[in-house]
């Protein structure tokens, strides 16, 4: 899928996320955009829905937060499963793709005749800088 022109709200949300050094929750994004006229959570969630659909933003299920994709120029939907390492100290996120893991999981799903639609692979822990 090619990413269409972003609307005003979508751009605002996307910019906040690309500038952030860590994942942001929807309500944090809302607070950061109050000066630009945002008043309600739905304004954020609607923009996020589209950005997720376009594959330029990821949702981190385990921390109810969102990050800009680390590979903004490609289509994230095309490189299969995405894994994230999330530092619980500094919040930094490392994004990661691996064909081997991909195939292995996909083969197993196939053996179960399970039709995969969305995937979540998230590892929480401490990054090199923050590890004790």
Partner DNA sequence: ATCAATTGCGTTATGCTATAACGTGTGCGA
Partner DNA sequence: TCGCACACGTTATAGCATAACGCAATTGAT
Both ends of the chain: CA-CA distance in Å? Answer: 42
Q: Are strands 93-96 and 57-60 parallel, antiparallel or unpaired?
A: unpaired
Residue 130 is assigned to a ligand binding site: yes
The partner in contact with residue 41, picked from DNA, a copy of itself, none with C-beta cut-offs of 5 to 8 angstroms by kind, is: DNA
Q: Is 70 in the site for a copy of itself (CB under 8 A)?
A: no
**Minimum distance of a copy of itself from residue 101's CB (angstroms):** 5
Contact pattern for a copy of itself over residues 103 through 122, marking x by CB under 8 A: -xx--xx--xxxxxxxxxxx
Closest to 63 (Cα-Cα) out of 91, 30, 90: 91
Where is the binding site for Zn(2+), in residues? 87, 90, 127, 130
């Amino acid at each position: 899928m090619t990413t269409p022109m972003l609307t005003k709200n979508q751009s605002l949300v996307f910019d906040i996320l690309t500038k952030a050094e860590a994942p942001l929750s929807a309500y944090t994004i809302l607070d950061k955009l109050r000066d630009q006229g945002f008043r309600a959570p739905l304004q954020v969630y609607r923009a996020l829905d589209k950005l997720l659909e376009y594959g330029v933003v990821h949702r981190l299920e385990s921390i109810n937060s969102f990050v800009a994709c680390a590979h903004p120029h490609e289509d994230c939907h095309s490189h299969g499963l995405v894994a994230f390492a999330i530092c619980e100290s500094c919040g930094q996120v490392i994004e990661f793709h691996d064909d081997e893991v991909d195939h292995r999981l996909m083969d197993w799903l196939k053996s179960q005749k399970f039709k995969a639609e969305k995937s979540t692979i998230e590892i929480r822990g401490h990054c090199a800088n923050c590890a004790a």
